[in-house]
Amino acid sequence: MSERQVSAPVQQIKKQRPSFHLFDFFYQYGTILTIVVLIVVFAAANPAFLQSGNIINILRSISIVTIIAVGLTISLAVNGFDLSVGSVATLSNAIVISMFVWFSQNPLIAILSALAASLIVGLLNAWMIVKMKIPDMLMTLAMMFIIQGLAQTYTKGATISENMVLPDGTFSTGTIPAFFSKIGQVPYIILIMAAIVLFAHVFMTYTKHGRLMYIIGGNKEAARLSGIHVNKYKIAAYLLSALFAAIGGIVLASRVMTAEINAGTPYLMDGVAAAFIGFSVMGAGKPNAFGTFIGAVLIGILQNGLVMMSVPYYAMDIVKGSVLALALALTYYKQRG
């Protein structure tokens, strides 16, 4: 065997200059290119678009979506799909605000209770998926309804805010501390988002655990037969997903200082869009935190720019949906080919 020429096929073929494929170029840089084009178009239409105040505005507007979408991305990495992130954000929002307003608790207790409740949801999701073998999307869909209902039942269908009227006719006396309101303001909200994107990116790309999650997402059976604890990592993925959804809910609470019914729901669909657009960013072809951030940026820019161009809010979803369809076309056309 040793006399056979098996040396260095790697280097030989690498030397060939790769021919330029238009589609591959779009696949890799399409999302970034779209963002650049959008910036140019919006800036031309309204120079105020490029002012630093507006850019910070865009980043702030995408923070909560990005935080929630990063959690969703991790569930996608193990080939799962956590549809309950929106309602978990709602729940965590409601718990944090209620802790302040109803129970006059300190921020630590308030935040910890929101995180704990959300992690229990994540654990339940994971347990039902791993042990009861319910398909991921169906289980988390059911969980979405349950948590949505649970949050509404908890708030008795009302918006929680300072000085709200309680069922017994009195006014609530708890206050939301000033410190807590800072979380949802610039620069902290943007810093939190950046930290989470960075953490998830490093975790998924540079640690053993992240790699194993991708391997499980790639082929669960092959992963299992490679001796990988598939269930353990699926549970971890759903816990992380719930954790980030909870953080999203807390930031949201700080931003609006109230707990409205289904406040977190809209973030699910935007998060899904951001995560899927993220698949194609830089040709990754798989869920990744950085791509998800870029996806959220794309959506944020679109939204912001269209508002500046006086496109009515009710037409916004048409554009958002079209962009998502385009990004998905890039991802899936490539996979088939």
Partner 1 sequence: MTTPLVHMKNISIEFPGVKALDQANFTLKKGTVHALIGANGAGKSTLMKVLSGAHSHFEGTIHINGEAATIHTPKDAASYGVQTVHQEVDTALVPYLSVGENMMIHEMEKKPFVRWKEIHRKAAQLLQEMDIDISTKRLVSDLTLAEKQMVLIAKAVSIKCSILILDEPTAPLSHAETSKLFSMIHQLKKNGTGIIFISHRMPEIFNICDELTVMKNGTDVAAHLIKETNPKQVIEEMLGAPLEDQFPSRTTLEDAPIVLDVKELHDQHKLNNIHLHVKKGEILGIAGLVGAGKTELCKALFGASEKKSGTVQLHGQTIHIKSPHHAVRAGIALVPEERRKEGILTEETVGWNVTAASLRSFTRPFSFLHRSKERKAADGIVKRLGVKTPSLEAKVKHLSGGNQQKIAIGKWLLAEADVYLFDEPTKGVDVGAKKDIFSLIAELAARGKAVIYASSELSEIAGIADRVYVLYDGSIAREMTAPMTEEELLYHSTGGQS
Residues that bind partner 1 (CB under 8 A): 1, 4, 6-10, 13-14, 206-209, 211-212, 214-215, 218-219, 221-229, 285-286
Which position has the token pair 């669909």? Answer: 269
Task: Kindly state the smallest distance separating residue 268's Cβ from partner 1, in Å.
Answer: 26
Token output for 191: 């810093």
What's the min distance (Å) between Cβ of 275 and partner 1?
18
Q: Residue 78 or 110: which CB sits closer to partner 1? A: 78
In the chain, the amino acid numbered 98 is S
Give bridge partners of residue 171 from the DSSP assignment. 165
d(CA 151, CA 265): 12
Q: Which residue, 79 or 155, is less far from partner 1 as judged by CB?
A: 79
Which lies closer to partner 1 via its Cβ, residue 2 or residue 52? 2
Residue 9's identity, in one-letter code, is: P
Least Å distance, CB 9 to partner 1, is 5
Tokens standing for residue 307: 């508002």
With respect to partner 1, which residue has the nearer C-beta, 212 or 289?
Answer: 212
> First-to-last CA distance in the chain?
37
CA–CA dist 271, 196 (Å, integer): 15
Q: Are 293 and 197 in contact (CB under 8 A)?
A: yes
Q: How far is the CB of 7 from partner 1 (least distance, A)?
A: 6
Nearest distance from C-beta of residue 290 to partner 1, angstroms? 17
Q: Which residue has the tokens 């309950």?
A: 84
Place of tokens 């935080």: 67
Which C-beta is closer to partner 1: that of 18 or that of 312?
A: 18
Q: Which position has the token pair 């079209």? A: 322
Compute the distance between CA of residue 28 and CA of residue 6 in angstroms, rounded to an integer. 33
Which run of H or of E encompasses 105? none
- Nearer to partner 1 (CB atom), residue 248 or residue 291: 291
Compute the least distance from the CB of residue 79 to partner 1, in Å.
Answer: 11
320 with 302: CB under 8 angstroms? yes
- Would you say 227 or 312 has its CB closer to partner 1? 227
Cβ 22 to partner 1, closest distance in Å? 20
Minimum CB separation of residue 18 from partner 1 in Å reads 10
Please list, in sequence order, all residues whose beta carbon lies within 8 angstroms of the beta carbon of residue 87, skipping any fewer than 6 positions away. Answer: 143, 144, 145, 147, 148, 151, 262, 264, 265, 268
How far, in Å, CA of 156 to CA of 208, rounded? Answer: 44
User: In angstroms, what is the minimal distance from the CB of 212 to partner 1?
Assistant: 7
Among residues 14 and 156, whose Cβ is nearest to partner 1? 14
CA dihedral 277, 280, 286, 287 (to 10 degrees): -30
Minimum CB distance to partner 1 smaller for 38 or for 204: 204
User: Computed over its alpha carbons, how large is the radius of gyration of the chain?
Assistant: 22
